[in-house]
Structure 1
Amino acid sequence: MRLSIRYGRETKDFFVPDRNYMGTLRPKHKKGVKDPEKEVERALHHPIGSPKLRELVSSKDKVVVLVSDISRPSPSRLLLPPVLKELAEAGVSNKKITIVFGLGIHRNQTEDEKRALVGDYIYSHFRCIEHDVENCRYSGISSKGTPIEVFAEVKDASFVIATGNIEYHYYAGFSGGAKALAPGVCSRRTIEQNHRRFMDPGARPGKIRGNPVREDLEEMARKVGIDFMVNAVLNPEKQVIKAVAGDVTAAHRQGASFLDKLSRVCIEDKADIVIVAPGGYPRDIDLYQTHKAMEHALPALKHGGILITVGQCSDGLGVGPFARVFDEGKRPIELVEELKKQFVQGRHVASRIAHIHLNNEIFLVSDLSQSTKEKLFFKSFNSVEKALSLAFDKKGKEATVWVMPFGISTLPSV
């Protein structure tokens, strides 16, 4: 079986023998809407659990619109024009609107990246700034004990709009909704306190009720105040297939339910080998982001199996604390034990990868430099074929293979 998988902005072709190939796991096919902006307008005209945006905001409001950074596939340049039109019709002037890129703890973006995310006109006519993780102010504490520290520009706003896209998240259940605020525009301390719950059994992809990470971040959003939300659901081709707007929780629930019906894939048997890719750029922009596809592939992999992860990693390893782990030469078991004693934001992902590798074996196909590959505690390859060849040597010539070309958008369920 000749197959193709997205790799950055390119593709990688490879071959899996028919006798080994169990199939390809991917979301149900749904075409993108013909006019994405009209779909956003439809959502704005039929808000869920909320009055219309133009009925909520006033000309006196100081408005902040939260948008995703370059590491997310959120179609901000499609979501923003209808939102800004609504604000204008409500009498809000351009000078009273600030667009904030939620970085969390990710790197700062280039001017070209910011312009590409929102479009030339919006970038030139509206104030567009990045969240500063070091410039956050205290806003209370959640019932789970998380100190709520929010970017000062957001704290000072009188009306906050969250935008983003809804897809599976490996421990927050789903992206989108309140995640635009937490972790999007919060302090490092807030992010760490929320994320340290990611090892809880309830913190898993596709789960909202009983998920301590999701419950905590939604409580923080309620306390700070997100006044309106607009989110998109995308197909694997990153086309808009649905938009939801309104109350940040109620609208998010409808969007998440819609996604789950398309993207949860039932399987009867697990495989000896799973070949998984996040789904191309920006989902495989670095190893930190690529790792999320590993998490979603685990339900389809037999214990002790081989997980071939295909991600270009054009930005290298990713955020500083995560990247620095691999300079230390620690063994996987040491990283797992470290996490039990102390949670450090960024390092926690290295510990999760170590946990996966101890129970299975990770093979990585990437464009990481040779010097970086030599620091990793798992095997690296330049091609899927070479990785698969060694996997067959280890698991046997009759080993079974699932392929997941859109790992971040797909959730196997046995």
Structure 2
Amino acid sequence: MTTTLPHFEPFSPDAVAHPGGALAEGALALGSDGYTVLSYELATAVLRDGRFKNAALTLMEEFGITDGPVHEFRANSMLRAEGPRHLKLRMPLARFMGPATVENIRGVLREIIQDLAADLDPSAPVDFHGAVDQRLPARVYCHLAGAPAEDAPKVASLSERTLSLLNRDPSQTPTIISAYAELFAYLKALVASKRAQGLGEDMLSFLIGQHDAGKLTEDELFNEAAAMLEASSVNTTHQTGLVVWTLLSDREIWQRLVKDPSLIPDAVVEVLRLYPRPGIVSKIAGEDIELNGTVVPAGSDVHVAVWSANRDPARFENPSEFVLGRERNQPLTFSTGSHNCLGQGLARVEMEEVVAYLVKRFPNAVVHEDDTEIGQLGGRWLVQSLAVDLRP
């Protein structure tokens, strides 16, 4: 059965004018870039359906990356694995990145944030995005991976340049290839150093131990380590900026957090719902699949509009409003199903601790609008700049 679908362009600058949820004609739309899923219910179904494959490899091929180390890495990555192989690749990192690790890192996070914020001059508006948001995730990665803290700028740069693929700009192909070459060389040297000096309690040592125990091949070890590095920084950087921007801009909500910091985790989740950094998750139909009364042919591009699903009035009451303590608040920002984001717990804790630092140290902080720019590119929310007046 096939129905006539409404037209929708998910990567158009005007796409976010849609308030969220299904269109009047239905939850599935069709445009020049393929199909778009708009409702929370249908988005959840697609993200949990293993017949829809990650689209990053196809996007690389469209950019002309059809062979070589970068193509091989993506083709064999955990993102594209399903079934027993996916479970084999995911379980070691899921075990290492479990709730205990995430909670135990709060003390380290506070130390890193204090260190990053030490040079902030509260006498004038500060570049909070550059000073804290852009530097924190890479420092955390270095701690978790057992890399030198001074490698953090390189880690941040590698994450940003490799994942620039998702900007959907083919002119960036040389940058992407060069960045992956640097990433592979950096990781090979880091793994070799750990093997030479002896393993520790860090993530890379854990993966090496899994290899030495016969649970991962050398290629699987390297691919997992590379995947964690590429995903380590850039998305959390922008999402943290979106959290700080949103909460400081709503003075009523901010004062509630100042009075009761225990509300911070709920506040972070609500920002994740309203302003998801991964605005669109792109998939490829692995076979003919019926969606909402329409047969989507094998090989079709299917784009899950996370920002629309997160504002679906059929799932969230008053979806465009910031509601602190919203019940059943489970946005799709970190995806869902077997391919949900492995680092989501850590990312949330990072954001919570940044907000907690501001609440405690600078309770009167406000966004300096003249030097702040928030936008979208390729369906993703971007923080171009975020200036904060710490003591207005």
> Under a length normalisation based on structure 1, what TM-score does the superposition of the two structures give?
0.24
- Structure that is richer in helix per residue: 2
- Structure that is richer in strand per residue: 1
> Under a length normalisation based on structure 2, what TM-score does the superposition of the two structures give?
0.25
